[in-house]
Amino acid sequence: MNYRHAFHAGNFADVHKHAVLARILEYLRQKPGGFRVIDSHAGAGRYDLNAAEASRSGEWRDGIARVWEKRVEADVRASELLAPYIAAIAACNTGFDLRTYPGSPLIAQKMLRGQDRLVACEIEPRSAASLAGLLRGDRRAKAITIDGWTAISAYVPPKERRGLVFIDPPFEDAADFTHLSDALAAAHRKWPAGIYMLWYPIKTREGPDALARRLRRLRIAKILRCEIMLRPPHADGGLAGSGLILVNPPYTLEQELEILLPALIRMLAPQTEQASLRLDQLTPNL
């Protein structure tokens, strides 16, 4: 699966992962001490929804466009939970028009305080140049041209001793599912107290289910799995769902997701009965 993000920016998977990302960052902001965000596969940072790639796929129209239009219709608690994510998107747009979608490094940057730091890693030359330009001049944020799989272990533990490692690889080949578990194992050995957030696409169940089995074998104490499915997975059916692995999640997050995920599904797939969600613990019996 080749997940070139310019074609997919703002799609339902982005909504899923970035809404949850914003919840974790909101939690980290509640304590006065600084935190660090390590974004291993940060991408270009910002995406023009009217550019050729996004226009050709049109995926954002079934993703962020639906949430943007229906955000005022969500119930009060879901609206509150979505507010940090929506605010980050609004900061990249003018008025009520939705023209630009911020990637994870810009969402994180919008939520940093003066004492917080962001390390955004990207190896693809054009994306890396775009990212560096966007973060230039912000002393809290640094763009580094480095392979994301190398960066995951290289930058932990951060000196703040508090923060998040966000791993959102392009899934250019099926081996990225194995890379996810291997990278987490290596980083977790160095920084067991860190929060880790891993994203994966769901096209069939084979890769995600194998990933879950490998993660259970790592015997990490706190692992939460969070998936949304817009349709049943099928080998020839394209992207059917979006999955997240959350290691050491904030203690409030699972209850928040019990409210937020159904609200997202109602916005993203209002006319289908095929949509579903999964929220469960992969924690082994230690």
Distance (Å, whole) CA 193 – CA 269: 36
DSSP secondary structure of 3-47: --HHHHTTSHHHHHHHHHHHHHHHHHTTSSS--EEEETT-TTSEE
The answer to whether 106 and 112 are in contact (CB under 8 A) is: no
- Rounded Cα gap, residues 208 and 213, in angstroms: 9
Q: Which is nearest to 144 in space by CA: 166, 120, 180, 110?
A: 120
62 is a catalytic site residue: no
10 token code pair: 């703002």
Catalytic site residue from 14, 168, 182, 209: 168
Q: Would you please indicate which residues are annotated as catalytic (active-site) residues? A: 168
